[in-house]
Structure 1
Amino acid sequence: MKVGVISDTHGLLRPEAIAALQGCERIIHAGDIGSPHILDQLAAIAPLQVVRGNNDLAADWAAHLADCLQLDLEGWAGLLVHDIADVPTPLDPSVKLVITGHSHQPGIDWRGERLYLNPGSAGRRRFKLPVTLALLEVSASGIEPRIVSLLE
């Protein structure tokens, strides 16, 4: 299963992001969405799972969105939360994938058998950080993440 992971769009869904997400069977947004139109555009590509970020908290359109979601990707248990500081401790040992956003810094961090993934920010460039999202190839045998740069 091909899964697109995006975060920190802040109201901007770039054409490069839309192109990179084509063919995904699921899309996960890790918060700081910025506009309900972003969710509409992503849902037109694939089924969508989303949490709200700190910049979405005051938005009426985001009031129904969760702060934390349990994920099941081809039998792999996952957790989706905007800020890594909000990951519960201790974390259930069955959770093999933790997806966060917030920092705008993309990262793939294997800690033992658990993957911590931050897709970075796909919205407006912040400081000199890259503009990115992540793609996951998920199967019964494993999870293969990669970061996709949207701008050179």
Structure 2
Amino acid sequence: MFRIGLVSDTHDLLRPEVLAFLRGSDHIVHAGDICGPEVIAALAQLAPLTVVRGNNDRGDWAQDIPEAVTVQLAGVRLHVVHDLAELVLPGEAKVVVTGHSHRPRVEERDGVLYVNPGSAGPRRFKLPISAGELLVDGSAITPRLVTFL
């Protein structure tokens, strides 16, 4: 079993409970609005890391972060982009990971699994603080979202 930790919209806040949840991941994906290099450094200490730039990721530290990326993890091709409205779906992607809305959501459309882990950073309106994971076991992909606080 391969565990991919999913996080987005930390906005420069890494909560201890989110870090504890991500610990033990084989790989972590951050879907943007990181807002500081310290977040990347902390997550990279836990597992190999894939990140994309969100609309709030500005400055020299963020210049080399791609706006979208496709990676293959445990035999599954994931496409990561911060804002679903900016998605250009590569034909071979089986999973799309997004952020931006701060709303945790899992949905399957046309054979593609769409996962937004929600926001792990400062609370926005009455939306939950959340993160997620993908459990990959052969061809089976099981998404799970977790709400904190």
Same fold (TM over 0.5): yes
Residue in structure 2 matching 1:124, options 122, 125, 128? 122
CA displacement 1:26-84 (0-9 Å, x = unmatched): 0000000011000010000000000010000x321010100010111221112100000
Distance 2:142 2:73 in 1: 12
Q: CA deviation at 1:139?
A: 2.3
Distance 1:73 1:113 in 2: 18
Report the TM-score, using the length of structure 2 for normalisation. Answer: 0.96
Distance 2:38 2:122 in 1: 16
Q: CA deviation at 1:22?
A: 1.1
Q: CA RMSD in A?
A: 0.9
- The residue correspondences of 1:101-120 to structure 2 (distance < 5 A) are 101-120=99-118
Q: Find the residue that maps to 2:94 and give its secondary structure.
A: strand
- Determine the structure 2 residue equivalent to 1:70: 70
- 8 Å CA contact 2:108, 2:114 repeated in 1: yes
- Determine the structure 1 residue equivalent to 2:31: 30
- Determine the structure 2 residue equivalent to 1:21: 22
Which stretch shows the higher mean deviation, 135-144 or 97-106?
135-144
Q: Percent identity?
A: 49
Gaps of 5+ in 1: none
Q: CA deviation at 1:133?
A: 0.4
Q: Give yes or no for the alignment of 1:93 onto 2:91.
A: yes
Q: Give yes or no for the alignment of 1:5 onto 2:6.
A: yes
Gaps of 5+ in 2: none
- 8 Å CA contact 2:121, 2:129 repeated in 1: yes
AA paired with 1:70? T
Q: Number of aligned residue pairs: give it.
A: 148
Report the TM-score, using the length of structure 1 for normalisation. Answer: 0.94
Residue in structure 2 matching 1:135, options 128, 133, 136? 133
Moved beyond 6 Å, runs of 4+: none
